[in-house]
Amino acid sequence: MAPRRIPLSSPDIAPEDLEAVAAVLRTTSLSLGPALPVFEQAIAGYVGTRRAVAVSSGTAGLHCIVRALGLGPGDEVVTTPFSFVASSNAVLFEGATPVFVDIDPRTWDLPPAAVEAAITPRTKALLPVHVFGRPCAIEAIGDLARRRGLAVIEDSCEALGSTAGGRHAGTFGTAGVFAFYPNKQMTTGEGGMIVTDDDALADHCASLRNQGRAAGDGWLDHTRLGYNYRLPDILCALGTSQLSRIEQFVKMRAGVAAAYERRLSKIRGVVLPAAAEKRHRISWFVYVIRLEDRYDREARARVLGRLREAGVECRNYFAPIHLQPFYRERFGFREGAFPVTEAVAARTIALPFHNRLSDADIDAVGAALENALAAER
């Protein structure tokens, strides 16, 4: 008999979410309707920004900000190679250049001193990422940006509910972005949200998401080049409903992370995620462990295979951006360019993680991991 499958992720959908979607379907306003501003205002109110602009994905949100800031050929944006590829792709969409900085080996975060060292006269923005929901050194990076007169594009796509010093991730920079893919803390299926206190930037992004139509334009008037980055009312309604339970979700996910820490802390060969810094709160997106340095990429692949054979869904997280084929071809990156990122990425394993993962599931994952690693000794 096949082992019981433990999924990598699972959205938390409640009856009220279904009713919120059904309520929109009973109307004639399925896009650009009343559910859109309700969702935007709810997100802005939750994180504490003046404005929020709903878009079709976190990637779309990052792209809108890059374009609205006027970044383009010849401009550089300092960012991390240890992230989902969209964070750097959004820079490339407009012809600007991502400049990578190697990560801290403990936090997997951008070290502010290394970020400052990477700034050149061509640098126009910093793009830090709150990887896996763990707040990055955003306070120090924000201070650095202010001193150097740079914009901050805050990739908070994995960090809704994370805070630093009581302030929400996504609110420290010029603008931030959240994403609502099904494995995120809350979901709209697909979707994203730009947050900012800059009214002009918000208006520009709202125009870009709707084919360049600006406030006051007629239905077929388009002030600027834009895109179809709209978020339908169905998904906005789902988002508003989900957001009403976000603090519950954050608490539940923290409980799952704590249970993992208790179960995995004594397993030889495993490095657990770094704890939150003082005054920071992690809103856990995924639970990613790292194998110790004695295990290489091939050993990690064998461990992943054994976990899957035991019914435990798992995945390597992330592959370094600079070693993606397109980045190698365009920029000439080779292995060894960012050794810490490469060493971490070769050993990471994302374990099953969602709001309602049971203690029995966590124990089963722990047992399967112990067995998988024992086979390597």
CATH code for position 165: 3.40.640.10
Which member of 124, 184, 251, 266 is catalytic? 184
Return the pLDDT at 324: 98
Write out the residue range of the structural domain in which residue 67 sits: 15-243
Token couple for 138: 């955003």
Length in residues, the chain: 377
130 and 148 part of one domain: yes
Return the pLDDT at 207: 98
Question: How many domains does the structure of the chain reveal?
Answer: 2
237 and 365 part of one domain: no
Nearest to 178 by CA among 164, 196, 166: 196
Nearest to 133 by CA among 10, 6, 275: 275
DSSP label at residue 205: H
Return the pLDDT at 253: 98
User: Is 278 an annotated catalytic residue?
Assistant: no
Instruction: Evaluate whether residue 3 is within a structural domain.
Output: no
139 and 28 part of one domain: yes
Give the end of a domain, one of 243, 265, 286: 243
164 and 33 part of one domain: yes
List the Cα angle 83/11/41 in 5-degree steps: 80
| Ordered DSSP codes for 244-310 | TTHHHHHHHHHHHHHHHHHHHTT-TTEEPPPPPPTTEE---S-EEEEE-TTS-HHHHHHHHHHHHHT
pLDDT tens per residue, range 103-141: 999 999 999 999 999 999 999 999 999 999 999 999 999
Return the pLDDT at 291: 98
Instruction: Evaluate whether residue 300 is within a structural domain.
Output: yes
Neighbours of 215 (CB within 10 A): 8
Model's pTM, two decimal places?
Answer: 0.97
Q: Please, are residues 316 and 348 in contact by the beta-carbon 8 Å criterion?
A: yes
Neighbours of 281 (CB within 10 A): 19
Q: Please, are residues 141 and 115 in contact by the beta-carbon 8 Å criterion?
A: yes
| CATH number, domain with residue 260 | 3.90.1150.10
- Looking at the chain, the whole-number percentage of residues with pLDDT higher than 70 is 99
Instruction: Evaluate whether residue 8 is within a structural domain.
Output: no
Give the end of a domain, one of 243, 276, 305: 243
Give the end of a domain, one of 186, 220, 243: 243
Return the pLDDT at 3: 78
Residues of the chain falling short of pLDDT 70: 1-2
49 and 195 part of one domain: yes
224 and 75 part of one domain: yes
